[in-house]
Amino acid sequence: MPMIPLSASTLKTESWQRQLANAFNRVEDLLSYLELSDRLEPSMKAASRTFGFRVTRFFAALMEKGNMDDPLLRQVLPVGAELEDIAGFSTDPLADQASHEGNGLLHKYHGRVLLITTGACAINCRYCFRRHFPYGEHQASPSHWQPLLQQLQNDADISEVILSGGDPLSLSNTRLAALIGQLQQIPHLKRLRIHSRLPVVLPQRLDQELAGILDSCRLATSLVLHINHPKEISAELAQALMPLRRQGVILLNQTVLLRGINDSVEVQVRLAEELFQAGVLPYYLHQLDRVKGAAHFTVEDEQATTLHQAMQARLPGYLLPRLVREIPGAHSKLALPLSQNE
C-alpha cells in the first residue's frame, strides 16, 4: 500500500492528543522531513538541550520543504546563537517570579490576574519568554486549585482571569471544564481570557466539547491566539474557529515582532488582513521580551516604530495592532515609542 504523504490536510483525521504524542522532538527528524538533513549543525543539537525541541507535525506540514529560511521553521529551529550570553537578556525578563502570589497566580495589573495552568506546550518557540520559567514551583496544579480559588474569592477587585502557561489548551477538556466551572462561581469575576498557540499548530484542539465548555460559561470569554506569520493561518484553523465565532467568543491575536521573519510591512499587512478573514482581530504587536537565548530575533525599537507607521498608512484602524513592549513593574504594557510614555 502506498504511503500517504504527510500534510496539514491528511493530519486532520488524527485526534489532537495523538498528534501531540507524535510531535517531532528531535531537530534532526524535522530537518529530515523538510529535506534539509545536510543543514544539521552540532550547535542546533546543543541549543535544543538547553531548551527542549518540540514541533507538531501539523505545523511542520505548513513549512516549505528545502527552505532553511522558511518563516515558520525559523521560529522553532534551535541555533547556536541561543548559547551566547548577551547583555540585557535574562532568564526572567518580565519578572514573573516576583509577581507570583502563590498557587500559580501572577498579579501584575489592576483588575486582572494570570494563572499559570501548566508548563506543557504543543510547540517550543525559540523566542519564548518563559523558556527558563520554573513551572514546577509556579503553576496552578489541581492540588492548588482550592487555595487559588480562595485567593480570587477574597479579592473583589479582580474581574478578569487569564489562563496561560505553557499552553492552557494542552489541558484536557475535563480539567478545563472543572477549572472554568469553579472560576465562574466567583461572583465578581466577569471575564475569562485564554492565551493559546495550540490551535495554530494543532487546529483539532478546538473540538466540539471545548466549544461547549466555553459556550456554557457565564463569563465573557475571549481567545487570544499567537500567530506571527500569515502562513500560520491554515484553512483548518479558520474552519476550527468558526464555531467559537458563532457562539460569541471574542477572537484576538498577539504577534511577536521577529527579525527576518515578520519585520516587513508586506508580511504584517498580509497578516492583519488574513487574520480578519479568519474572524480574528489583531490585538498586540509585541516587541521581543528580552529572554536569554533569543537576542538574535531582536528588532530595534526605531525600526519597529517605522514599521508600525508604515502599517498604519496601509491598514484601517481596526486592523492595526498596538505596538507594545512589556516592562516589569509598569502598570500596563507600554505603547511604542516609549518616549511618549515618559
Domain boundaries, the chain: 8-83, 96-341
Please tell me the distance from the alpha carbon of residue 231 to that of residue 33, in angstroms, as a whole number: 18
pLDDT at 152 over 60: yes
Can you give the pLDDT at residue 339? Answer: 45
Can you give the pLDDT at residue 13? Answer: 56
Can you give the pLDDT at residue 92? Answer: 87
pLDDT at 297 over 60: yes
pLDDT, average across residues 115-136: 90
Q: Which residues contact 41 (CB under 8 A, 6 or more apart)?
A: 80
Can you give the pLDDT at residue 233? Answer: 98
Q: Residue 12: pLDDT band by 50, 70, 90 thresholds?
A: low
Please tell me the distance from the alpha carbon of residue 274 to that of residue 208, in angstroms, as a whole number: 24
Burial class (CB in 10 A: 0-12, 13-18, 19+), 18: exposed
pLDDT, average across residues 15-30: 95
Please tell me the distance from the alpha carbon of residue 220 to that of residue 190, in angstroms, as a whole number: 6
Can you give the pLDDT at residue 93? Answer: 85
Minimum mean pLDDT range among 95-99, 128-132, 212-216, 256-260: 95-99
pLDDT at 108 over 90: no
pLDDT, average across residues 317-322: 97
pTM attached to this predicted model: 0.92
Query: Using omega within 30 degrees of 0 as the cis cutoff, is the peptide bond preceding 78 cis?
Result: no
pLDDT at 2 over 50: no
- Beta strands 334-335 and 322-325, pairing class: antiparallel
pLDDT at 10 over 60: no
- Give the tens place of pLDDT for each residue, 203-255: 999 999 999 999 999 999 999 999 999 999 999 999 999 999 999 999 999 99
| Residue of 271, 339, 279 lying closest to 311 (CA atoms) | 271
- What are 68-71's contacts with CB under 8 Å, separation 24+? 68/36, 68/39, 69/260, 70/34, 71/228, 71/229, 71/231, 71/261, 71/262, 71/267
Please tell me the distance from the alpha carbon of residue 302 to that of residue 323, in angstroms, as a whole number: 12
Can you give the pLDDT at residue 104? Answer: 85
Please tell me the distance from the alpha carbon of residue 120 to that of residue 268, in angstroms, as a whole number: 29
pLDDT, average across residues 302-309: 97
Please tell me the distance from the alpha carbon of residue 299 to that of residue 263, in angstroms, as a whole number: 8
Quote the cell numbers at residue 317.
484602524
Which residues pair with residue 256 across a beta bridge?
Answer: 286
Please give the span between the terminal C-alpha atoms of the chain, in angstroms, as a whole number.
67
Q: Are the CB atoms for 32 and 6 separated by under 8 Å?
A: no
Q: Residue 25: pLDDT band by 50, 70, 90 thresholds?
A: very high
Please tell me the distance from the alpha carbon of residue 166 to that of residue 60, in angstroms, as a whole number: 20
Q: Which residue has the cell 458563532?
A: 246
pLDDT at 341 over 60: no
CATH of domain 96-341: 3.20.20.70
